[in-house]
Amino acid sequence: MEGKSLLRFLFLMFGVLLLLVFTVFNLPYATPDKAELLDCTSTWCTSKNRFLKPHFLQDPPNPTRRHHSAVPHHPLDPLTVQEFNKIRTILSSHALFKSSPYALHSIVLQEPPKPLVLTWQKGDPLPPREASVVARVNGVSHVLTLNIDMSQVTRIDPGPLSGYPMMTMEDMTSATLAPLANADFNRTIIERGIDLTDLACLPISTGWFGKSEENRRLIKVQCFSMKGTANFYMRPIEGLTVLLDMDTKEVIQISDEGRNIPIPKAADTDYRFSTINAQQQMNLLNPISIEQPKGPSFTIEDHLVKWANWEFHLKPDPRAGVIISRAMVRDPGTGEMRNVMYKGFTSELFVPYMDPTDAWYFKTYMDAGEYGFGLQAMPLDPLNDCPRNAYYMDGVFAAGDGTPYVRSNMICVFERYAGDIGWRHAESPITGMEIREVRPKVTLVVRMAASVANYDYIVDWEFQTDGLIRVKVGLSGILMVKGSPYVNMNQVNQQENLYGTLLSENVIGIIHDHYVTFHLDMDVDGTDNSFVNVNLKREQTSPAETPRRSYMKAVRNVARTEKDAQVKFKLYDPSEFHVINPSKKTRVGNPVGYKVVPAGTAASLLDPEDPPQKRGAFTNNQIWVTPYNQTEQWAGGLFAYQSQGWDTLATWSERDRPIENKDIVLWYTLGFHHVPCQEDFPIMPTVSSSFDLKPVNFFENNPILRIPPNVEKDLPNCKASASA
């Protein structure tokens, strides 16, 4: 055994040992005994404390990086290291946690009531700092509210009736090791000719399909061979599924159905540049960069971002990833900052795979509620994930024992100039006037990238000076593939359903969907808004009236209740979707508003009664509108893990509450159908889609009418760097 393999083996064995200890003592949860602040930048809590590491491109170091001494300055600022530590102290002395082992599945700021946040101004004392904690104690889930200032647990709720909290990172990592404690599992691995040291396993949420997934917190583990490649995802040990009790780590069942399926080859699967030999490297392009010699045009104070005519609060969140709050844009006429959106974030993801067979049917992920979309957001790679001119923001989260840790460079913020045009007009030869007025488009991008095991989701919030917010989701990373006996399509009977595409010898990319549901608490010039479906429909005319037979008319329908605002898009029955403030009108009398503008999207084709679709019922429509309710944040329910679909956006909306001239929340689902193709192997080029929030009669006129064009003298002088 070579040195590296030996190390891996020892590490693995240590894990197994640790697990055995846990199992024997029936202590599935770590107790809060670590005091140090970990920086889980690169690997999960195996690296040393690096929370004061060098700051990328920040000179002088940005104060937000001083996490140990950070204090909140805004009612929405996330919990600080000191606050996390205080919470640990409060909890450790609380009766609930005294006698029992426990795990803390989520510790986040309990945001103050919206009216308090809205009236708070810089300089005011902060509203009481509260935390919301989701804990599992002896197999029971609790939702606690803590007053941090008063060092008190103020409230304990049982949480939803069905489902479990988001997994902790410890849940996930320990699940991948648990099968190794099972002799049958080890035997089948060895019988397949795989070295235990080459094993890489993934924790796969089981979903819920009926009684067998009830009353027990379950997880399935599937494994891969990482021999010869870092891209073990392309080497599945097909058909082998281990069902575990996630609390006890007990192996409940081993399903072993793929013994006839070879493990696909490792060759040509590694994507790391270091593994590609020099002759094969493709240097197609000269260096190119976005340059801002006078520095960026934005400032970030703690979590408050100010750029051009925009201002918003930005924070990392373990479940949502990125939360944008209090987005306001300056009115060019009056100079005032006007409210656009109180809160916007990725509420849930739903990723059903389209293979009903034993080892695949349950793969119907809810990446935020099960895995933590923010927990999976890894440090961004400067110069590649974000351009050179980016600013980076860290996340501070808590481990399962409550210990805070830093996820450095989790979010980046940068100005983008992509060579696009903000507005233009040239007079044509028809009029012969000498006019050519063009304004370049520069935007501000807030980005994170979450790696939920194989897949990478890139989420961009892009702010434009014309008031538009574009929310873009990019998909990259690695496909979840299935082992297959086939090496060529000519071996496949026409009648046979592969459930996907043969991507390489013995590798099938399974068809799947991605749905990303956004919570968009729009507050257009105030909290009380209405949702208007501006329906575009054919109007027939009479011959006496006009030589035309038809035209298209816009008919405004204000939604009275939630069911009026359940929208499925139709190309031939189109609408615009406006959130307006019915109490505020423009100079010429149009209600001020923002519209949601879809781009490419996809809709779920699953049977609405299919258990995964019931759990993911928030994707049944592309748009929903609900009255604001601080408890309705997560479209798949607070406890999405093994949820049964009782607590989703769809069930809330069925209550059909009034939404006219109320504080309302718009929900938008961006969808992708993904039929894999060979270009996605072994790692997929980014595929993106987006939607826009766009001012519609919000401003009196074009808000960027008065911005200047680019002129040569303002642009930088650049030269190739010395090393060129």
Based on the shown chain and the rule CB under 8 A, indicate whether residue 69 belongs to the binding site for its own copies: no
- Residue selected from 23, 339, 566, 590 as contacting its own copies according to rule CB under 8 A: 590
Asked whether 373 and 450 are in contact (CB, 8 A), the reply is yes
Nearer to its own copies, 153 or 194 (CB): 194
DSSP 100-130: S-EEEEEEEEEPPPHHHHHH--TTSPPPPPE
Using the contact rule CB under 8 A, the part of the chain among 78-86, 94-102, 270-278, 642-650 near its own copies is 270-278
- Residue selected from 383, 630, 654, 658 as contacting its own copies according to rule CB under 8 A: 383
Based on the shown chain and the rule CB under 8 A, indicate whether residue 286 belongs to the binding site for its own copies: yes
CB of 655 to its own copies, least distance (A): 25
- Residue selected from 4, 43, 60, 123 as contacting its own copies according to rule CB under 8 A: 43
- Applying CB under 8 A, the site for its own copies has a residue count of 209
271 part of the active site: no
Q: Can the peptide bond before residue 682 be classed as cis, meaning omega within 30 degrees of 0?
A: yes
Nearer to its own copies, 159 or 682 (CB): 682
Based on the shown chain and the rule CB under 8 A, indicate whether residue 300 belongs to the binding site for its own copies: no
CA distance 232 to 198: 9
Nearer to its own copies, 103 or 148 (CB): 103
Using the contact rule CB under 8 A, the part of the chain among 31-39, 130-138, 343-351, 703-711 near its own copies is 703-711
- Residue selected from 25, 430, 496, 544 as contacting its own copies according to rule CB under 8 A: 430
CA distance 148 to 156: 15
Using the contact rule CB under 8 A, the part of the chain among 95-103, 319-327, 342-350, 672-680 near its own copies is 672-680
The DSSP call for residue 54 is: P
Can you say how many angstroms the Cα of residue 446 is from the centroid of all Cα atoms in its chain?
13
Please tell me which residue in 247, 367, 523, 680 is annotated as part of the active site: 367
- Residue selected from 260, 490, 493, 495 as contacting its own copies according to rule CB under 8 A: 490
Nearer to its own copies, 120 or 486 (CB): 486
- Residue selected from 54, 125, 158, 708 as contacting its own copies according to rule CB under 8 A: 708
Please tell me which residue in 392, 455, 499, 628 is annotated as part of the active site: 455
Based on the shown chain and the rule CB under 8 A, indicate whether residue 222 belongs to the binding site for its own copies: no
CB of 95 to its own copies, least distance (A): 32
Neighbour order of strands in the sheet with 140-147: 102-110, 130-137, 140-147, 152-157
- Residue selected from 416, 482, 514, 615 as contacting its own copies according to rule CB under 8 A: 416
Nearer to its own copies, 69 or 701 (CB): 701
- Residue selected from 72, 379, 483, 636 as contacting its own copies according to rule CB under 8 A: 379
Using the contact rule CB under 8 A, the part of the chain among 75-83, 215-223, 316-324, 539-547 near its own copies is 539-547
CA distance 237 to 482: 9
Under 8 Å CB-to-CB from 401, ≥6 apart: which residues?
Answer: 29, 30, 31, 32, 33, 34, 88, 103, 104
What's the alpha-carbon Rg for the chain, to the nearest Å? 27
Based on the shown chain and the rule CB under 8 A, indicate whether residue 495 belongs to the binding site for its own copies: no
CA distance 585 to 580: 9
Using the contact rule CB under 8 A, the part of the chain among 31-39, 93-101, 238-246, 700-708 near its own copies is 700-708
Element (H, E) at 241: strand 240-245
Nearer to its own copies, 34 or 657 (CB): 34
CB of 708 to its own copies, least distance (A): 6
The DSSP call for residue 371 is: I
- Reduced to 3 states, what is the DSSP secondary structure of residue 14? helix
Asked whether 276 and 268 are in contact (CB, 8 A), the reply is no
Based on the shown chain and the rule CB under 8 A, indicate whether residue 311 belongs to the binding site for its own copies: no
- Residue selected from 24, 95, 282, 544 as contacting its own copies according to rule CB under 8 A: 282
Q: How far apart are the first and last CA of the chain?
A: 43
Q: Which of residues 199-218 bind its own copies (CB under 8 A)?
A: 200, 202-203, 209-210
Using the contact rule CB under 8 A, the part of the chain among 21-29, 64-72, 115-123, 670-678 near its own copies is 670-678
Based on the shown chain and the rule CB under 8 A, indicate whether residue 547 belongs to the binding site for its own copies: yes
CB of 112 to its own copies, least distance (A): 30
- Residue selected from 466, 521, 632, 660 as contacting its own copies according to rule CB under 8 A: 466
- Residue selected from 9, 120, 417, 646 as contacting its own copies according to rule CB under 8 A: 417
The DSSP call for residue 38 is: E
- Residue selected from 301, 336, 381, 654 as contacting its own copies according to rule CB under 8 A: 381
Output the CA–CA distances (angstroms, integers) from residue 52 to 55, 64, 302, in the order listed. Answer: 8, 11, 16
CB of 124 to its own copies, least distance (A): 28
User: In three state form, how does the secondary structure of 407-452 look?
Assistant: EEEEEEEEEEEEEEEEEEEECCCCCCCCCEEEEEEEEEEEEEEEEE
- Residue selected from 266, 308, 396, 579 as contacting its own copies according to rule CB under 8 A: 308
Nearer to its own copies, 520 or 683 (CB): 683
Burial 99-131 (b: 16+ CB within 10 A, else e): eebbbbbbbbbbbbebeebbebeeeeebbebbb
Output the CA–CA distances (angstroms, integers) from residue 344 to 305, 405, 633, in the order listed. Answer: 15, 25, 10
Based on the shown chain and the rule CB under 8 A, indicate whether residue 441 belongs to the binding site for its own copies: yes
Question: In angstroms, how far apart are the furthest CA atoms of the chain?
Answer: 92
CA distance 540 to 88: 68
Burial 263-285 (b: 16+ CB within 10 A, else e): bbbbeebbeeeeeeeeeeeeeee
Nearer to its own copies, 423 or 646 (CB): 423
- Reduced to 3 states, what is the DSSP secondary structure of residue 722? coil
Q: Which of residues 147-186 bind its own copies (CB under 8 A)?
A: 169, 172-173, 176
Nearer to its own copies, 146 or 450 (CB): 450
268 part of the active site: no
Q: Which amino acid is at 72?
A: P
Q: Which of residues 565-584 bind its own copies (CB under 8 A)?
A: 568-572, 574, 576
Enumerate the active-site residues.
367, 455
